[in-house]
Amino acid sequence: MNIGLLAVDSNYPNLALMKISSYHKGKGDLVEWYNPFDKYDIVYMSKIFSFTPDYGQYMTNTTQICKGGTGYDISSTLPEEIEHIKLDYSIYPSIGHKTAYGFLTRGCPNKCKWCIVPKKEGDIKPYMDVEEIAIDGRNELILMDNNILASDHGIEQIEKIIKMNEGRMKKIKVDFNQGLDARLVTDEIAKMLSRLKWIQQIRFGCDTPKQIEECEKACAMIDKHGYKGEYFFYCILLDDFDESFSRVNHWKKKGSSRYLPHCQPFRDIGNKSQIIPQWQKDMARWTDRKHLFRTCEFEDFEPRKGFKCKEYFL
Ligand code: SF4
């Protein structure tokens, strides 16, 4: 069979398409990225976001279309025989030979009002073992768990990574790229985190004023155990300008390049006509450009000719 893969709205490695590719190649099928001039038996379309446009062309060159991903249906899942298959990294030649992607856990026990994870994945549960992800010599693991510290299995996996690194030349490095929950960092967890090898930074969610304090506490505990690297804070921007600004600016006021916030305007997946307020776009632009954030105050930032962000404070 001829199989076409189409990532509708994201260039980020699409794990579902990588699994589908593996599955079909295992059956001897021909798999390629969708090309409107070829003919297919099945085209798999994956859409991640609900707020992005769908694929705009009418497809007449395939017998079957399979659509999946949160952007089409929040409850869509892969069939069991595909869900746990090895990823086909070859469809993304830009992924280096050291990098691996995966989840050790799925879900989250919390129910933050801006987050779709609990609706999509439910309560936290074990999902994979690190040895199923660190395959074929891949030792830089991008782990996309949503709240790994809320899971006993997740914590056991962190301990396992530390043990696997003992006496090993090519250490396993990690990036929990969806952020950790600072509230769950005890002294014991902090010690564990300080012993991991990080690809770049330790990331935390910092979505409420209370979480600033929790993040500060967690960072201090991890530092106490010898970590000297960077911290990265996901900051959701909700409707309160003053609160959002003071939360994001808290990390600037620390005056150290070790603390870096990252803004994400709230996206309402149930509201296709949602309009993101201009102040959120401007704040995200200011924060997410490292050089700008470090060298310029938000008040002085001029996102458009003749408009300085100090006007937001009037
Ligand atoms: S924001 Fe984080 S902690 Fe809150 S529900 Fe989502 S995954 Fe869980």
DSSP string, 60-92: -SEEEEEEESTTT-TT----HHHHTSPP-GGG-
Q: Which stretches within 265-313 are classed as H helix?
A: 278-288, 290-295
**Distance from residue 276's CA to the centre of ligand 1 (Å):** 21
**Distance from residue 115's CA to the centre of ligand 1 (Å):** 6
- Which atom belonging to ligand 1 lies closest to the Cα atom of 118? 5
| Residues near 278 by beta carbon (within 8 Å), at least 6 away in sequence | none
- Which atom belonging to ligand 1 lies closest to the Cα atom of 115? 6
Confidence of residue 161 (pLDDT cuts 50, 70, 90): very high
- Which atom belonging to ligand 1 lies closest to the Cα atom of 109? 8
Judged by average pLDDT, the poorest of 69-73, 161-165, 222-226, 298-302 is 69-73
Find out whether 105 and 148 touch, Cβ atoms under 8 Å. Answer: yes
- Which atom belonging to ligand 1 lies closest to the Cα atom of 181? 3
Report which residue type is found at 77: T
Mean pLDDT over residues 241-253, rounded?
97
Choose one of 70, 105, 110 to mutate for the ligand 1 pocket test, by most ligand atoms within 8 angstroms of C-beta. Answer: 110
Average pLDDT, the chain: 96
pLDDT of residue 241: 97
* Distance, CA of 39 to chain centre: 34
pLDDT of residue 270: 75
Distance, CA of 65 to CA of 291 (rounded, Å): 44
Q: Which residues line ligand 1 (CB under 6 A)?
A: 108, 110-112, 115, 117-118, 146-147, 181, 205
pLDDT of residue 51: 86
E runs forming strands in the chain: 2-7, 30-33, 40-46, 62-68, 99-102, 105-106, 125-126, 140-143, 173-176, 197-198, 201-205, 230-237, 259-265
Which residue owns the Cα nearest ligand 1 atom 7? 146
Choose one of 70, 112, 181 to mutate for the ligand 1 pocket test, by most ligand atoms within 8 angstroms of C-beta. Answer: 112
User: How long, in residues, is the chain?
Assistant: 314
Digit-coded pLDDT (tens) for 257-294: 999 999 999 988 778 788 999 999 999 999 999 999 99
Position 123 pLDDT exceeds 90: yes
pLDDT of residue 167: 87
Digit-coded pLDDT (tens) for 13-24: 999 999 999 999
Position 191 pLDDT exceeds 80: yes
**Distance from residue 111's CA to the centre of ligand 1 (Å):** 6
Digit-coded pLDDT (tens) for 131-141: 999 999 999 99
Position 239 pLDDT exceeds 80: yes
The single residue listed with the structure tokens 């249906």 is: 73
Digit-coded pLDDT (tens) for 170-184: 999 999 999 999 999
Tell me the CA distances in angstroms from 308 to 68, 94, 134, 263, one per residue in order. 42, 39, 47, 19
Which tokens hold the place of 36?
Answer: 């409107």
**Distance from residue 178's CA to the centre of ligand 1 (Å):** 9
**Distance from residue 222's CA to the centre of ligand 1 (Å):** 21
pLDDT of residue 109: 96
Mean pLDDT over residues 209-228, rounded?
98
Mean pLDDT over residues 301-306, rounded?
97
Which residue owns the Cα nearest ligand 1 atom 6? 115
Digit-coded pLDDT (tens) for 76-116: 899 999 999 999 999 999 999 999 999 999 999 999 988 99
Choose one of 103, 111, 115, 204 to mutate for the ligand 1 pocket test, by most ligand atoms within 8 angstroms of C-beta. Answer: 115
